[in-house]
Structure 1
Amino acid sequence: MRMHRAQPSLYVALDFPDRAAAENLVAQLDPADCGLKVGKELFTRAGPELVRSLVDRGFAVFLDLKFHDIPHTVAQACRAASDLGVSLVNVHASGGRAMLAAARAAIPPGTDAPALIAVTVLTSMTEADLVDIGVNRPLADQVSALARLSCEAGLDGVVCSAWEATAMRSVFVQPDPVIVTPGIRPAGSALDDQSRVMTPEEAIQAGATSIVVGRPITRAQDPASVAHEIARSIR
Structure 2
Amino acid sequence: NPLSLLSPLQRKKRISQWQDLQSIQSKLIQLQRRKENCGIGAFERELHARMRVLRRLGHCSEDGVIKRKGRLACEIESVDELVATELLLEGVANAMSPAQLVAFLTCLYPAEGRKRHVENPPSDAVLGPAWKRLLEAASRVAQVQRECGIELDEKDFVEQFSCSLVDVTLAWCQGQKFQDVMKMTNMFEGSLIRVLRRHDEFLDQLHTAARSIGDEVLSKKFNEGRKILKRGIVFASSLYL
The interval holding the TM-score normalised by the smaller chain is under 0.3
If each structure's helix is expressed as a fraction of its own residues, which one has the higher value?
A: 2
**Taking structure 1 as the reference length, what is the TM-score of the superposition?**
0.25
Q: Which is greater in Rg? A: 2
If each structure's strand is expressed as a fraction of its own residues, which one has the higher value?
A: 1
